[in-house]
Amino acid sequence: MENLTEDMVKKCSGIPLSIVTLAGLIAAKPDMTPVDWQNLQNHLPFSLETNIIPEKIKRTLLLCYIGLPHHLRPCILYLTIFPKDYDVERKRLVRRWVAEGIVSGSRDMSAEEAAEGYFIELIGRGLIQPSKITGDGKVKTCRIHDIMLEVIDSITSQENFVTVLHEQSTQMPQGKIRRLSLHGTITQRRGVRLSHVRSFTVFSDDKPFHNYGKMRLLRVLDLQGCKGLRHNHLKNISRLFLLSFLSLRNTSVEELPDSIGDLQNLQTLDIRGTGINKFPGAAVELKKLAYLLAGTKFHSMRMPTGVGKMKGLRKLGLITVTDSTVLLQIGKLTQLQKLSIDVTVGDVEDTRRQEHLVDLLSKLDGCLRSLTILDSGNGNGLGQILNDLRRPPLLLHDIQLVGVLQTLPDWVASLNRIVKITLRFTSLTRDAVRVLANLPALAQLVLGYKSLVECDEQLVFDRKGFKGLKLLHIESVEVSFQEGALPNLEWLKLIGHFGDQSVSGMKHLHSLEEVYLDIGDERLQEKLRKKATKYLKRTNFVVA
């Protein structure tokens, strides 16, 4: 076996992609015999030998693909839907896998949990590379290497797995099309059979040319980023009865048709970054909808009465609720894991409404894992709501609070599972930071604009807390790092206005991998960079 693996490594020709991918294959198959490996190595399709990829790299990558278990092969082939050098969001990808039935669940595991596991496996094998990683180590976006993309693109063409049309495409595909991906502006042409299309994806600013109503087998309709798309282009959407995944994210759509309520198999609806500010009343009949992703940082979507019927919801927001009845109904959604809610619209000082918000959050204490609450009012409504919780959500992994608090609720000190905390406009004192320092699982901390009250003293990080913190994001707060502080910090972001002496002690952050500076003063940015690089030789500095 040792001789065989040495021969395989030699075929990598010192190319990192080949070595890493082959290592992933070997690690994933500890029980294979030398005979098994020899057979696998010999089992290479001759039809791909004339490709432009250097033969030694190609053979290694093909070997790694052939060595994949059958459940992972369609998952990696699926990535040919996306353009070259495209950052693919992990959540978008795994939900699409589930929607098309490429990944299914079991008695002990949901389909999305299984898909997340497959994604991690592909990362571990080196077949896809992380491009953005969160502070707690999760892959946010990924890429596939150009050479690997060429290899699997050849396979998808042979197997008719994915059909990609480019602007420069001169020939239209013949026969059945199962997955259609458009890269760039393409005018509609005759002779293309679309009746068997299961997924349709567009990477273009223009409106897509197809009449969706004819794609009766469609399960995934992903129009993210199509700025030319308007609500009138969705008039036949109700005909897509099998549709499970619909993304209108970052399009110009401003309202959803009432007929969207007919899509009884819809599981994911992504309308973030659109002008949609009201969810249709008829759409509360979407019993299978699990992910309703809406709003932007600056506006939310109003929910109608009847939302309590949507028992399958797991993620909801960003939403606005002005009706107390709707608040009571949301409290019945016991599968809800992530809630993002704007409590500003309407009379935030209304005592009854605040009581209903308290009741809602108390009822969801056992299921919520992520909570975002926005309150841009001038009062302390947000602080009152959080302090009045009878059963606080102590199982939270992620919390974002935007609005005046002045003091942290006592129960925050008991958030033993919290991984990420984001604070903006909270007007907290330095004492609040000492509370956060003792949270054992905290990996990401964002101290946004006006999160802390103005103070003449620097915010000091010493050796006493934040032992697991990996990402620190600070906006316009003078800060000092003492020796031994933040021993595991890998990413530091400084944004806003800082004076000459407002950042000190960066040299003590020995685990720092990257510093992002966007402080408006080029002279100060360069000064900080030069001062820190004397001690942090391996740290990457990114200047906005």
Distance CA 522, CA 513 (A): 21
- pLDDT value at 190 more than 60: no
Q: How many CB atoms lie within 10 A of CB 498?
A: 22
| Cα gap 13→492, rounded to integer Å | 37
- 208: which residues sit within 8 A by CB, 6+ positions away? 182, 200, 202, 223, 226, 229, 233
pLDDT band of residue 45 (cuts 50, 70, 90) is very low
CB of 407 closer than 8 Å to CB of 380: no
Where would I find the H helices in 53-110? 55-66, 73-77, 90-100
Highest mean pLDDT among 9-18, 148-157, 531-540: 148-157
Orientation of helix 55-66 relative to helix 16-28, angle to 10°: 20
Over residues 461-496, the pLDDT tens digits come to: 999 999 999 999 999 999 999 999 999 999 999 998
Mean pLDDT of the chain: 86
Residue 398 pLDDT exceeds 50: yes
**509 — alpha (psi -120 to 50), left (phi > 0) or beta?**
beta
Mean pLDDT, rounded, for 71-87: 96
Listed by start position, the domains of the chain span: 2-81+102-145, 297-439, 454-544
Helix (H, G, I), strand (E, B) or coil at 374: strand
For the chain, the maximum distance between any two Cα atoms, rounded to a whole number of angstroms, is: 76
Residue 46 pLDDT grade (very low, low, confident, very high; cuts 50, 70, 90): very low
Low-confidence winner among 42-51, 269-278, 321-330, 488-497 (lowest mean pLDDT): 42-51
The pLDDT value given to residue 453: 92
Choice between 44 and 527, residue whose per-residue pLDDT is larger: 527
**297-439 adopts what CATH topology?**
3.80.10
**Chain centre distance of CA 415:** 23
Tell whether the model's pLDDT for residue 2 goes beyond 70.
Answer: no
Mean pLDDT along residues 39-63: 54
**pLDDT for 293 beyond 90:** yes
Overall average pLDDT of the 91-107 stretch? 96
DSSP letter string, 243-297: --EEE-TTS------GGGGG-TT--EEEEETSS--B--GGGGG-TT--EEEEE-S
Q: Over 90: is that where the pLDDT of 292 sits?
A: yes
pLDDT band at residue 169 using 50, 70 and 90 as cut-offs: low
- 323 pLDDT exceeds 90? no
Q: Which of 422, 367, 426, 416 is nearest to 393 (CA)?
A: 367
Has residue 374 got a pLDDT over 50?
Answer: yes
Give the residue with greater pLDDT, 126 vs 272: 272
Q: How far is residue 74 from each of residues 70, 167, 260, measured CA to CA in Å?
A: 8, 26, 30
Q: State percent of the chain over pLDDT 90.
A: 58
In the structure encoding, which two tokens stand for residue 148, read together? 């690997």
pLDDT tens string 105-148: 998 999 999 999 999 999 998 889 999 998 788 999 999 988 88
Residue with tokens 């820190």: 532
pLDDT of res. 27: 61
501 contact partners, CB below 8 Å, separation of at least 6: 478
Which percentage of the chain shows pLDDT scores above 70?
Answer: 85
- Binned at pLDDT 50, 70 and 90, residue 5 comes out as low
* Range of lowest pLDDT (3-12, 226-235, 260-269): 3-12
Q: Are 412 and 390 in contact (CB under 8 A)?
A: no
Tell whether the model's pLDDT for residue 307 goes beyond 50: yes
Segment 381-408 shows an average pLDDT of 93
Helices assigned H by DSSP within 370-496: 381-387, 430-437
Inform me whether the pLDDT recorded for 14 exceeds 80: no
Cβ 381 vs Cβ 348: under 8 Å:
yes
pLDDT number for residue 49:
38
Q: How remote is the C-alpha of 481 from its chain's centroid?
A: 31
